Copies of this chain bind each other. A is one copy, B any other.
Amino acid sequence: MKNKPRILITNDDGVHAPGIRYLWEALHEIADLTIVAPQTEQSATGLSITLRSPLRLEKLNWSNGIVAWSVNGTPSDCVKLGLNIVFNEKPDLIVSGINRGTNAGRNALYSGTVAAAIEGVLHGIPAIAFSCHDYWDTDYTTANKHIPSIVEHVLKHPLPNGTLLNVNFPSKELEQIRGYKMTRQGMAYWTEDLAERFHPAEKHTYYWLGAKLAEFNEIEDCDIAWLKKGYVTAVPIHVNELTDHQHLESRKNVFEALF
C-alpha cells in the first residue's frame, strides 16, 4: 500500500480556530497530517518572523487525542519550527487555512495564511493557502467539501519551484458554487479604515486601523471577479523573482549613468 502524503497544516487564525478544524476534517482521511499553528490569532501579519523574542513549541491535546503543536509566533515561525523540529524529513505539502476572510487580490500580500505558504515555497515545499470570502458568519462547509480534490490535484500536478496556490471560496452555499477557475490575481485589497478614540485615563488620542475594501476596475479574468460570480478561484502566485523587467529595461542605462 502506498504511504499517505505527509502534510503540515497551519493557519493564521490560531491553532484553535474553526477553520483549521475544518481543514483537518477535510484532509485527515487522505493524508498524514501534522498541525503546527500559532497559539493566538495572527491575521494580517504578512511574512513577519519573530527575531527578538523566544519561541515556544508546545504539544497539546487538540481534539479527542489528536496532537497539535502551537507556537507563540507567526505563521512563518510555525512553518520554520515545524520543518526544523517536528518533521524529520520535509513534508510533501504545506496547507494553510481555512482562513476566515478573503485573501483574493492583493490581500495575499498582507495575509498570514498566504505567508505560511510562501515560507513553505522558500523551503522548496509545495504549498496551498485556503480562504473563505466571508469574514462574518463564515461558512466553512463549502471549502471543506472541495479541499480534498484540490489538494489531490496539486499532489498529482506539482507546482513549479517558487509558486504556491492561493485558493479562495466564494460567499455561496455548496449547491450554488458554479465551478473552479484557475485565474489571475486581482487588484482589490483591504485598506485601512481609521477610527479615532480618546483614552479616558491617559488622556491621549489613539487609533484603530480597521479595514475597508479598496476596489478597482478589475479585468474579467481575475480572482476578485470570478469570486463575485460564485466560482472557487485558484491563483498560482510566484515569489522567487518580483523584478519589474519592463521598467528595468527602460531605465537601466539612465540609472547606471548617474554614477
Number of residues in A with C-beta < 8 Å to the partner? 82
- Which B-chain residue is minimally distant from A181 (CB atoms)? B256
Chain A interface main SS type: mixed
Q: Which of the residues B184, B234, B251 comes within 8 Å of A236, measured between beta carbons?
A: B251
Q: Would you call B48 and A46 a contact (CB within 8 A)? A: yes
User: A80: which B residues are within 8 A, CB to CB?
Assistant: 192, 194, 209
User: A240 interface residue, CB < 8 Å from B?
Assistant: yes
Q: Does A176 contact B (CB under 8 A)?
A: no
A55 proximity list for chain B (CB < 8 A): 206-209
The answer to whether B54 touches A206 (Cβ under 8 A) is: yes
Alpha-carbon gap, A187 to B189, bound state (A): 27
Find residues 218-253 in chain A having any chain B CB closer than 8 Å to their own CB: 232, 234-248, 251-252
Could you tell me if A209 and B240 are in contact, using CB atoms closer than 8 angstroms?
no
- B-contact bits for A144-181, CB 8 A (1 contact / 0 none): 00000110010001011011000000000000010111
- In A55-96, the 8 Å CB interface with B consists of 55-57, 74, 77, 80-81, 84-85
A110 within 8 A of B: yes
Known: A118-B109, A206-B56. A187 touches B48 (CB 8 A): no
- What separation, in Å, do the CA atoms of A180 and B248 have in the docked complex? 13
Residues of B within 8 A of A182 (CB): 248, 251-252, 255-256
Task: Kindly state the separation between the CA atoms of A243 and B108 in the bound complex, as whole angstroms.
Answer: 11
A47 adjacent to chain B (CB < 8 Å):
yes
Instruction: List chain B residues, Cβ under 8 A from A246.
Output: 160
* A108 to chain B: closest residue by CB: B242
Chain B nearest Cβ from A12, distance in angstroms: 11
CA of A102 to CA of B137 in the docked complex: distance in angstroms? 43
When distances are taken between beta carbons in the complex, the residues of chain B under 8 Å from A163 are 244, 247
CB distance from A66 to the nearest CB of B (A): 22
Taking a contact as CB atoms under 8 Å apart, the answer to whether B251 and A243 are in contact is: no
Min Cβ gap A47→B in Å is: 4
Contact partners of A247 in chain B: CB under 8 A: 159-160, 163, 236, 238
Q: Which of A43, A157, A254, A256 has the most CB of B within 10 A?
A: A256
A positions within 8 Å CB-CB of B: 41, 43-52, 54-57, 74, 77, 80-81, 84-85, 106, 108-110, 115, 118, 122-123, 149-150, 153, 157, 159-160, 162-163, 177, 179-185, 187, 189, 191-192, 194, 197, 204-211, 232, 234-248, 251-252, 254-256, 258-259
